[in-house]
Amino acid sequence: MMMGEEIQFFGKYGMIHFTENNGMAFGMELGGSWGKLFLSIFRLGAVGAIGYYMWYLIKNKSHQGLVLCIAAILAGALGNIIDSVFYGVIFSDSYYQVATLLPQGGGYAGWLQGRVVDMFYFPILQGHYPQWVPSLGGDQFIFFRPVFNTADSAISVGVAVILLFQKRFFGTKE
């Protein structure tokens, strides 16, 4: 797919929308290539810490639900790191063309400089803000605007389940 191309599977309410994310959630970025390098190194450190925590939980026979949630968070973080580390090296740019695997002359970016591929888009409610709303009047409104990937979903679901079941996961031991 080319950047911005869409395949609808649930009408206008659910689609595969190909985009690439340069930085963090919602397209936020740290400045330039040094910011991207710092973000990638931070992600690698975070994955190491999450992996160690998961080992600790397993060693101490923690609640299986908590271990599964941490595993989902770890898998999601690893998925996004794989995109960031390798995609820039092994793919050509996907602007105005379908990306090429292992292009002659190398990929669009160096190690740890790649973009994360996002694809799921669910614009459930769409409309315009009423004219009387200050500074937003007449602007387009879309509820659930973020485009995300499977790794983002794994992280979000893992964190949400931990928050929902925290008393069961972290309750006092008898």
pLDDT tens for each residue of the chain, 174 residues long: 999 999 999 988 999 999 998 777 766 777 777 888 888 888 899 999 999 999 999 999 999 999 999 999 999 999 999 988 889 999 999 888 999 999 998 999 988 888 899 999 999 999 999 999 999 999 999 999 899 999 999 999 999 999 999 999 998 665
* DSSP code string of 85-146: IIIHHHB---TTS---BS-TT--SS-TT-PPEEEEEE---EEEE--TTSTTTTT-EEEET--
* Terminal CA-CA length for the chain: 55
CB atoms within 10 A of CB 84: 24
Q: So what's the pLDDT on residue 38? A: 86
pLDDT for the residue numbered 26: 66
pLDDT reported for residue 24: 72
d(C-alpha 150, C-alpha 53), whole Å: 22
With 0-12 / 13-18 / 19 or more C-beta atoms within 10 angstroms meaning exposed / middle / buried, residue 121 is buried
Name the pTM for this structure: 0.85
Predicted pLDDT at 78 = 94
Query: Residue ranges of the domains in the chain?
Result: 31-115+150-170
Residue 6, pLDDT score = 94
Mean residue pLDDT of the chain comes to 91
pLDDT at 151: 93
Please tell me the predicted confidence (pLDDT) of residue 173.
62
Q: Which helix (H) or strand (E) is 78 found in, with range? A: helix 64-82
The pLDDT value given to residue 57 = 97
Q: Which residues are catalytic?
A: 118, 152
Please name every residue paired with 116 in a beta bridge, in sequence order, or none if there are none: 21
